[in-house]
Copies of this chain bind each other. A is one copy, B any other.
Amino acid sequence: MRVTIKDVARECGISAATVSLVLNDKECRVSEATRAKILRIAAEMNYRPNHFAVGLVTRKTHTIGLIVPDVGNFHFAEMSKAIEQECRNNGYIVILGSYGESDEQAYAYFKEFIDKGVEGIIFAKPMLVELSEKDRQCFALAESASIPVVTFEPVEVQATVGVVSYDYEAGGYLASKHLIDLGHRRIGCLTGPDNMISSVARREGYKRALAEAGIPFDPTLLYEGDFAVQSGIEALPHLLGQGVTALFTFNDMMALGVYKAARQYKLKIPTDLSIVGFDDTFLNEILEVPLTSVTHPADSLGKESAKRMLSLIRGEASYEGSLFPPTLMVRGSSVRLRV
């Protein structure tokens, strides 16, 4: 059985209340002598407060919940790491939930985490344009428990939701403009699911760049993928059929799929086809033809979300949400169109 505050008190010949006072740095009122003594003895006895007892009375747990679709995924893995570090540096620990594909599962985590007394939840879900019923329930649950939630995309719910977002539209614009500037006119677009906020935004950016350059938007150049490698493999033949000379894929994984398929078709990247990806994963530098890509810094986003969370917990709601700007990393996969 661990040493309790009473043990320390007894050892000091003093009351538990005073020990508590000192150990929690409450406004002094305690003589330097006893304070020092308490500190010394507590350390000697290796006293560590019981988390449950403290939680029971203070309702503070110094724990935040992190819910992601898949920790096994690059982006979320890095993000988790950053969140974890930032929280830790501020005395918080992170409990983790990977909900896979299921909204039910995510909801179950919300419930469980709230039961466990998390002080806030970072919900790293790529949101749909139309929030699902379950999603709403998640936010409602958090609200009824009055704990803050941080998401990475704007959601219109009345709960205390902080948003740390990324400018997907600008990212889409940047990638497309880059290809246009290189002389490409028929630019294929391998999108994510059409009901996903971040995918729609990227597409808007693509359209804006086209419009600005006076290139008519051709819907047949769009191919709806699902962010997995396989999408890239499937998309390429279709888009080649449309005579594209360049391709903007909404993430790097799909670009990898395109690389793979391109080899089958004996297509040379970038001479036969320029490609721009999105996410700028570390792989891009290692590929035989390094992939030009839009940065999407999981670590910065994660860190910021954790900061946001902490400030929400502290009630500094004033802390304004940040919109991360994209930048483009130009590498070998995108070149000027040969005429």
Contact = CB atoms under 8 A, between A and B. Distances in A.
A145 B126 CA distance: 40
The DSSP consensus for interface residues of chain A is: helix
A112 interface: yes
Contacts of A49: 115
A244 interface: no
Contacts of A279: none
Interface in A117-161: 117, 145
Given A56-B56, A286-B229, A286-B256, A96 B70 contact: no
B112 A98 contact: no
Identical copies in the complex: 2
Contacts of A286: 229, 256-257, 259-260
A286 B145 CA distance: 46
B115 A51 contact: yes
A268 to B, nearest CB: 12
A6 interface: no
Contact of A112 (B73, B78, B93): B93
Interface residues of A, number: 50
Nearest to A260: B286
A93 B116 contact: yes
A81 B77 CA distance: 10
A85 B108 CA distance: 13
A72 interface: yes
Contacts of A229: 282, 286
A97 interface: yes
Given A50-B56, A52-B52, A93-B96, 9 more contacts: A48-B111, A52-B55, A70-B81, A74-B77, A85-B100, A93-B95, A229-B286, A259-B288, A263-B288
